[in-house]
Structure 1
Amino acid sequence: MKPSAQGAAGAGTGRARAAGAVRVPAQPGAADVARDRARHAGEPDGAARGEHTHGEPPAAGPSASRPRDLVRRSSVRGQILDALRSALVTGELRPGEVYSAPALGDRFGVSATPVREAMQQLALEGAVEVVPNRGFRVVERGEGELAELAEVRALIEVPVWLRLARTVPAERWAELRPLAEATVRAASAGCPVTYAEADRAFHRGVLALAGNEQLVRIAGDVHRRAQWPPAGAPAVRGRADLVTDAHEHTALLDALIAGDPDVVRALVGEHFTGTP
């Protein structure tokens, strides 16, 4: 997906939509904070985890470490993580705002633990930062950072696409047709979260042809980060931009199947850098 002043489309998954039926709220008011503190008073480690100290007390006893409980918690954490990733780009999690795990947990209908763990993962990804004794602040991203991410994506992906264009047979490219068409459908629907997922899936499918799992992982991480919008910009790209981007996927795939290296080179340059 080529860069734009608004960044790329919002990230998210189908699971995120299921878990995110409850909209991510703005930071709670004083009444919410007082209520949470009264209910969860006495937790000693909240400051160290970067959140209000009224988070829920840790589980105790032998049942706390049962495999079934760990699997269940992992599943909830994954759903919350997907929902929060979607909310980052749709603007429900606003740049510069601070959110506490207990308050978000209340609104998602879960304990603070999976929310805290999901936020800690987002901190590792650079989406949020820990604010001791308060929670997690959504990082304010500038146009310069998005331009840097776009450059990194081009440096990683463009040479791989051009190499694959010379070595991958047409029938393998044809297998990616459903992924390209999925981006067109998502763009036509105008849902930035669905489009972001389809966009990443298509690029992941192309890079997987290189047979390098580290490449796929690193490129995917940069791609996701490039989909978060900058502070002060509209939260999502418009439907017309998404449709244009999606049709670049199908045009690229047509050229790859046809084995036309000159057209592929021009389209790849346009798709990643905005220049023919």
Structure 2
Amino acid sequence: MLREAGRTPEQRRPRVRGEHVHSEPPAPDIAPPRPVPRRHSVRDQVLEALRAALLSGELAPGEVYSAPALADRFGVSPTPVREAMQRLASEGAVETVPNRGFRVAEHSPRDVAELTEIRALLEVPAVLALARTVPVAHWDRLRPLAEDTLEAAARGDRAGYAETDRVFHRALLELTGNQQLVLLGDDIHRRAHLCAVRAAPAPRTTDLLAEAAEHVALLDALTEGDLAAVERLVRGHY
């Protein structure tokens, strides 16, 4: 957990150990990872917190952050932070800066458009095939996930919406039984959401709600066996 309670402003100033990064901004107040007993779990929780900070804009595009400064903010050693940042680098969210830390990647509207096109190429044919083969009763199992996206959207929680949206779409692809498609779709989904944060204005709550409502409408169409509506909804979702 972050060691913030009872500290003075001076004590809350992040201390960078090792290499000094003159241009590094103060480490943002990122929601702390939950306390867990094992190192790999610490890394996973730090990764979750960093992803949320990227989606919320707390970690600013183009800025360089050192692992020791972020580790001090989290109250953990630099190692799990570096491991989490390396994972984010493999996803294109940050870039490694030798002897300094990690720079938050910057993206353009074209990047967003290209990733959106890839998502559609992967998911549209898969969902249309599922609409013809999956028993109707299976679609009710996804409704709690669709409701989660609505709740996150209603709060205006962009990071929460991105995560619940990812979980919903992953669950759809898992019905294909193609694990490689699931992994690839999951990776592209994360990249698309992070790109959108940097290349487009923050969506309004009404925009998030409209997008989340499409999940419910899609499940309704799948349950009713309305293939024309399924195709219209799934093609218009991207």
Shift of 1:237: 2.0
Task: Confirm or deny that 1:252 pairs with 2:218.
Answer: yes
The aligned amino acid for 2:198 is A
Are the counterparts in 1 of residues 66 and 100 from structure 2 also a CA contact under 8 Å?
yes
The aligned amino acid for 2:40 is S
Which structure has the greater CA radius of gyration?
1
Percent identity for Structure 1 against Structure 2: 57
Deviant stretches of 4+, over 4 Å = 19-22
Counterpart CA distance in 2 for 1:75 and 1:214 is 24
User: Cα 1:203–1:241, aligned 2, differ >3 Å: closer, same or farther?
Assistant: same
Counterpart CA distance in 1 for 2:126 and 2:155 is 30
Shift of 1:186: 1.7
Counterpart CA distance in 2 for 1:139 and 1:197 is 19
Q: Tell me which residue corresponds to 1:192.
A: 158
Counterpart CA distance in 1 for 2:14 and 2:222 is 56
Task: Confirm or deny that 1:218 pairs with 2:199.
Answer: no
Counterpart CA distance in 1 for 2:192 and 2:109 is 11
The aligned amino acid for 1:169 is P
Q: Tell me which residue corresponds to 2:74.
A: 108
Q: Tell me which residue corresponds to 2:58.
A: 92
- Structure 2: runs of 5 or more not aligned: 5-12, 22-36
Over residues 214-263 of structure 1, what are the superposed CA-to-partner deviations in whole Å (9 max), with x where a residue is unaligned?
111110110011111353644x3221111000110000110000001111
Indicate which of 78, 83, 96 corresponds to 2:44: 78
The aligned amino acid for 1:78 is D
RMSD: 2.1
Asked which structure has the greater RCO (Cα within 8 Å, sep 6+), the reply is 1
The aligned amino acid for 2:96 is V
Are the counterparts in 2 of residues 95 and 138 from structure 1 also a CA contact under 8 Å?
yes
Q: Tell me which residue corresponds to 2:170.
A: 204
Please give the TM-score of this superposition, normalised by the length of structure 1: 0.73
- What does residue range 133-144 of structure 1 map to in structure 2 within 5 Å? 133-144=99-110
What is the count of residue pairs matched by the alignment?
214
